[in-house]
Amino acid sequence: MKRLFSLLLVLLMIFPHPIAMAETKYSRNIFGYFDTVISLMGYTDSQEEFDRVCDEAAQQLKYLHQLFDGYNSYPGLHNLWYVNRHAGSSPVQVDQPFFDLLSKAKEMQSKPGYEKVNIAMGAVLVLWHEAREEGVLPDAKALEEASRHTDISQVILDEENRTVYFADPLIRLDLGAVAKGYAADYVKALLEEKMPSFLISLGGNVYAGDAPLDGRKRWGVSVQCPDGVPPIQFGSDMLEVFYTTRMSLVTSGDYQRYMEVDGVRYHHIIDPDTCMPATHLRAVTIVCESGFLADYLSTLLFLLPYEDGIALINSIPDAGALFVLSDGSVTMSEDLYPMAYTHGAGAR
């Protein structure tokens, strides 16, 4: 699973605030899912009510984690692990969320300019995963051979029967670029119904719900600096703070999942054209309503040269991006100015 540069949750604890926090704000960390710590905070009538909502959200996250797990099997569940091992022989019927995620990702990849995020890159990405585990580079010939089995058109989805079939039996799926964003959207529906004022973070994937009930109009969500990049304003490891409600923020970067070989860093976001880590940027943060779209775009823009990435994000309504370039310089699309601390935004 893709990971990345974390977004820190900030409830303006780094800034003085005249209004005391409401007694009905509660928080919990959830462990064991999506290879990250999941943080949930929100406002409810009581601790008991908050715990009930958290327990239900945790059950959904557990289910989705198991469904999108490519490394483990679970009794009675046709998950990613199962599909990768059986869909090359015959169609595999899957649960609706699994089918929906594959359909959405395949549809996105079909758009001009969106091709670099390829959920059929699993045969290549597993070689990099194994290499990182061993601290060595993957074999170049093995990468070249694996890259011949990454054609998304060979992943056949049958909507009527809800099945997945690999016309190329050597194809393998990898959902690391989209699974956490989809999971955030999935859980968001529950939280919006039962605890509308909330903020949830799945590692580098954050969704801010309705405004906090303590007098502020917006949540504050901070973006962490990549190592070696100086903070802009805050005298800490924060690069920027965005103030928002009902929006997703997702970051992809080169410095939380990587290895070093002979003094060279090799991170986990692989360019499908070269089968090597992308080198255009240090990090990208996407802000838009959909967690799935933000997750997809954060990987896509990381794989693109900056000029192509800024042109693409400017073509998407109600979406913006913050870029950390390879030289450490920082820029963002103008759509983010109204919510960025460095451009005068605040929680009020």
Q: Are 288 and 248 in contact (CB under 8 A)?
A: yes
Token readout for 293 is 């779209």
Q: Are 342 and 231 in contact (CB under 8 A)?
A: no
The beta strand positions in 34-88, using DSSP E, are 36-43
Q: Are 319 and 22 in contact (CB under 8 A)?
A: no
Instruction: Please give the residue that has the higher pLDDT: either 225 or 55.
Output: 55
Q: What is the pLDDT of residues 70-118, one digit of tens each?
A: 999 999 999 999 999 999 999 999 999 999 999 999 999 999 999 999 9
CATH class of the domain whose range is 70-166: mainly alpha
Q: What is the pLDDT of residue 7?
A: 42
pLDDT band per the 50, 70, 90 thresholds, residue 348: confident
Of 90-99, 127-136, 161-170, 222-231, the range with the lowest mean pLDDT is 222-231
Name residue, tokens 């099945």: 163
The whole-chain average pLDDT of the chain stands at 91
pLDDT band per the 50, 70, 90 thresholds, residue 4: very low
Identity of the amino acid at 344: G
- Please report which helix (H) or strand (E) contains residue 127, including its range: helix 122-134
**79-82: Cβ within 8 A, 24+ apart:** 80/173, 80/175
Instruction: Please give the residue that has the higher pLDDT: either 335 or 1.
Output: 335
Q: What is the pLDDT of residue 167?
A: 98
The fold adopted by the segment(s) 7-66+180-343 is: T-fold (3.10.520)
Q: What is the pLDDT of residues 296-343, one digit of tens each?
A: 999 999 999 999 999 999 999 999 999 999 998 999 999 999 999 999
Q: What is the mean pLDDT of residues 200-228?
A: 92
The beta strand positions in the chain, using DSSP E, are 7-10, 25-33, 36-43, 92-93, 155-158, 163-166, 198-202, 205-208, 219-224, 238-244, 247-253, 258-261, 264-267, 270-271, 276-277, 281-288, 320-325, 330-332
Q: What is the pLDDT of residue 105?
A: 98
- Please report which helix (H) or strand (E) contains residue 93, including its range: strand 92-93
Q: What is the pLDDT of residues 256-272, one digit of tens each?
A: 777 888 888 899 999 99
Q: What is the pLDDT of residues 226-253, one digit of tens each?
A: 877 777 666 678 889 999 999 999 999 9
Identity of the amino acid at 177: A
β-strand partners of 251: 285
Name residue, tokens 């580098």: 204
Q: What is the pLDDT of residue 235?
A: 61
Token readout for 312 is 């693409």
Q: What is the pLDDT of residue 263?
A: 86
- Please report which helix (H) or strand (E) contains residue 297, including its range: helix 291-303
Q: What is the mean pLDDT of residues 48-54?
A: 97
Token readout for 87 is 């869909």
**Residue 21 pLDDT exceeds 50:** no
* Residue limits of CATH 1.10.3980.10 in the chain: 70-166
Q: What is the mean pLDDT of residues 138-165?
A: 98
Neighbours of 232 (CB within 10 A): 15
* Residue limits of CATH 3.10.520.10 in the chain: 7-66+180-343
The percent of residues above 70 in pLDDT, for the chain, comes to 92
Token readout for 122 is 């699993």
β-strand partners of 164: 92, 157
Q: What is the pLDDT of residue 284?
A: 97
Q: What is the pLDDT of residue 230?
A: 72
Taking only Cα atoms into account, the Rg of the chain, rounded to an integer number of angstroms, comes to 20
Closest by CA to 281, choosing from 300, 303, 262, is 303
**Residue 204 pLDDT exceeds 90:** no
